[in-house]
């Protein structure tokens, strides 16, 4: 048994001792919780605790003699630094000739070997994939062991933040109406019951919000819906009496968080449960009796909440104006401080953004940890400045700022690159190539039925032409006062076997191409955009993106000569829109800053 502050090799040694006690040959530790969340409550941060790697994505695999941490290109440099001296090898995901963790396991596991994964952090679909792999080697899988939890002495408790109602004026659609729509979809599948474990789906369906997960306004819960009632499995102490009464009026009852398995076990032979095997963990679904008919399909609520309605979009547009005005004030103040010779660090940038956003109406919190990355730090896509390690800004080079806010009327996510002074020709060229990619995707018209992977290359083409690329997706869905990363859609390179989700009107996506040169600089430009209808003609219905984000790009970081006339026109039109939207909210030095940065090229 080891404590939080024990050295990483000590933690791994304790894990290996537990593996020996249980006859386990390998232990897989994913980045997951019982809700398969992207960002985890500290209680389930076992992968971070065992490895010391703090990125949001990664898989740890430990055997008696080896240990590897798999993560993607966003985190290569960070992981290399954080894993140094730990005895854990950095394994680069989606890199040519580098084994993925399943291939790595296939090479090491032999007949009779046992792989252990905690069943409360493993999707049913993933378990099936592991079982197929292990069967080839004659090995077996155990999901009834939580080996990291066994050795983690001071594991944090579950969070218990208050749950609150998303006010009706902002929620736009009532809880009863959402439940009725979901039940209609259940009947279409022939299901008597539906299990939800994904926290943002539950928050959307119930019109409730919480703070159990950092930056995401959600709360720990499972939800079981039948034809007449819905049971919310959550911690009673997080709800006040008014909220409970409002839930009861809509046929929603509360049960203990841990009682979800018992409720599933009580389902009868005439019942049919709808669930998504990629969105529920095996520790929960294993409670389902064999006599219950299983209907495996995507969660209807995930698709419903992805398509924002007119009321939600109206709130989002207002929120974008407030958020944009807050950023203008913060950027102007930063420039003034630097011009006055004040010492400013990446941490000061974070504080400035937080202060200006907090002054806005309906602000609740940040939507993710701010990335304020100066010069070479910008080459780390998910860099985070800390009191122990951060850069001091100078009046030269580039500052990449990726930040966002949670408001009652929407969730924001924006990246801007500021030129703090003299920049190099290489920096301006790279920033312009990335801008060309953003403009290309922002301007595209595409036929109904097209998916993000079919559009992804548009943002990369200007970079590819220069022999450049980036290792992350081009766009992710964004929630409505919910998670900043939301499915089911996304804009990313095609992946073998992955489902193509059509982009539909009302879906919001980020558009964020980039380029990263370790030791030199990183560039990323990012706006949020909503899919809208454009025209219906001889060749069918066509869609387009309407840009929602309202904040100037720093033209001083660009090389305008590399933009063609259409690209220059798009950027000038965008800045004219920003100026018109934000000018009424600003005055004095802030308004002057806006006018200066929105002037035509």
**Stretch 288-304: mean pLDDT, rounded?**
97
pLDDT value at residue 565: 98
Asked if 486 contacts 306 with a C-beta cutoff of 8 angstroms, the reply is: yes
Q: Look at residue 382 and tell me whether its pLDDT is greater than 90.
A: no
pLDDT at res. 336? 98
Residue 185 has pLDDT above 80, yes or no: yes
Look up residue 142 and give its two tokens.
């155990």
Determine the pLDDT at residue 536.
Answer: 85
> Does residue 573 have a pLDDT over 90?
yes
Assigned token pair, 566: 């259409």
Mean pLDDT across the stretch 252-257? 98
Q: What's the whole-number average pLDDT of the chain? A: 96
The pTM (predicted TM-score) of the whole model is 0.95
**Residue-level pLDDT at 535:** 84
Residue in this structure with the two tokens 């209807």, named with its chain if needed: 300
Contacts of 9 (CB under 8 A, 6+ apart): 86, 87
Burial of 305 (0-12, 13-18, 19+ CB in 10 A): buried
- Tens digits of residue pLDDT in 79-133: 998 999 999 999 998 887 788 999 899 889 999 999 999 999 999 999 999 999 9
The answer to whether 276 and 298 are in contact (CB under 8 A) is yes
Region 577-596 average pLDDT: 98
pLDDT tens, position by position, 500-510? 999 999 999 99
Tokens read off for 549: 């984000």
Domains of the chain: 8-151 (3.40.350.10), 164-300 (3.40.350.10), 310-597 (3.90.230.10)
pLDDT of residue 408: 98
Q: How many residues does the chain have?
A: 601
pLDDT digits (tens, 9 = 90+) for 430-463: 999 999 999 999 999 999 999 999 999 999 999 9
Q: Which pLDDT band holds residue 2 (cuts at 50, 70, 90)?
A: low
pLDDT band at 77 (very low <50, low <70, confident <90, very high): confident
pLDDT per position as a tens digit, 78-87: 899 899 999 9
User: Which residue is associated with the tokens 């009327």?
Assistant: 409
């Amino acid at each position: 048994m080891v404590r939080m502050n024990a050295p990483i090799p000590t933690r791994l040694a304790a894990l290996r001792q537990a593996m020996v006690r249980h006859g386990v040959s390998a232990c897989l530790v994913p980045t997951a919780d019982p809700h398969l969340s992207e960002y985890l409550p500290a209680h389930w941060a076992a992968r971070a605790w065992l490895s010391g790697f703090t990125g949001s994505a990664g898989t740890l695999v430990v055997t008696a003699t080896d240990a590897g941490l798999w993560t993607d290109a966003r985190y290569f440099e960070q992981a290399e630094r954080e894993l140094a001296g730990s005895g854990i090898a950095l394994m680069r995901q989606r890199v040519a000739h580098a084994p993925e963790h399943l291939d790595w396991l296939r090479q090491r596991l032999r007949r009779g070997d046992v792989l252990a994964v905690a069943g409360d952090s493993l999707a049913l679909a993933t378990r099936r994939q592991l079982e197929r792999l292990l069967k080839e080697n004659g090995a077996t899988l155990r999901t009834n062991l939580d080996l990291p939890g066994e050795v983690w002495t001071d594991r944090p408790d579950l969070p218990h933040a208050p749950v609150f109602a998303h006010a009706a004026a902002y929620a736009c659609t009532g809880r009863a109406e959402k439940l009725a729509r979901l039940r209609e979809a259940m009947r279409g599948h022939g299901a008597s019951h539906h299990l939800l474990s994904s926290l943002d789906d539950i928050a959307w369906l119930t019109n409730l919000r919480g703070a159990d997960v950092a930056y995401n306004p959600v709360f720990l819960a499972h939800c079981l819906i039948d034809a007449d009632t819905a049971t919310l499995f959550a911690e009673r102490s997080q709800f006040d009496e008014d909220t409970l009464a409002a839930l009861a009026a809509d046929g929603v009852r509360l049960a203990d968080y841990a009682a979800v398995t018992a409720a599933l076990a009580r389902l009868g032979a005439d019942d049919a449960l709808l669930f998504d095997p990629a969105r529920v963990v095996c520790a929960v679904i294993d409670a389902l009796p064999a006599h219950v008919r299983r209907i495996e399909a995507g969660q209807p609520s995930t698709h419903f909440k992805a398509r924002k309605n007119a009321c939600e979009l109206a709130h989002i547009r207002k929120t974008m104006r407030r958020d944009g005005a807050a950023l203008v004030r913060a950027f102007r103040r930063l420039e003034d401080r630097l011009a006055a010779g004040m010492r400013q660090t990446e941490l000061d940038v974070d504080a400035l953004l937080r202060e200006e956003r907090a002054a806005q109406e309906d602000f609740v919190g940040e939507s993710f940890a701010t990335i304020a990355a100066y010069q070479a730090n910008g080459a780390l896509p998910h860099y985070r400045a800390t009191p122990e390690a951060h850069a001091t800004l100078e009046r030269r080079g580039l500052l990449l700022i990726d930040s966002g806010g949670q408001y009652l009327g929407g969730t924001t996510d924006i990246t801007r690159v500021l030129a703090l002074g003299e920049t190099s020709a290489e920096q301006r060229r790279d920033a312009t190539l990335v801008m060309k990619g953003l403009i290309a995707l922002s301007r595209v018209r595409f036929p109904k039925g097209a998916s993000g992977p079919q559009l992804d290359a548009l943002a990369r083409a200007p970079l590819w032409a220069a022999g450049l690329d980036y290792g992350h997706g081009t766009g992710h869905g964004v929630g409505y006062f919910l998670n900043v990363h939301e499915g089911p859609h996304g804009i990313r390179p095609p992946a073998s076997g992955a489902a193509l989700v059509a982009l539909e009107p009302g879906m919001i996506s980020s558009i964020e191409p980039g380029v990263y040169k370790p030791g030199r600089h990183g560039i990323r430009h990012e706006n949020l955009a909503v899919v809208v209808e454009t025209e219906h003609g001889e060749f069918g219905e066509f869609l387009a993106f309407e840009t929602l984000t309202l904040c100037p790009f720093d033209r001083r970081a660009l090389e305008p000569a590399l933009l063609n006339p259409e690209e220059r026109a798009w950027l000038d039109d965008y800045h004219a829109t920003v100026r018109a939207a934000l000018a009424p909210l600003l005055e004095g030095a802030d308004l002057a800053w806006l006018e200066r940065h929105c002037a035509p090229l």
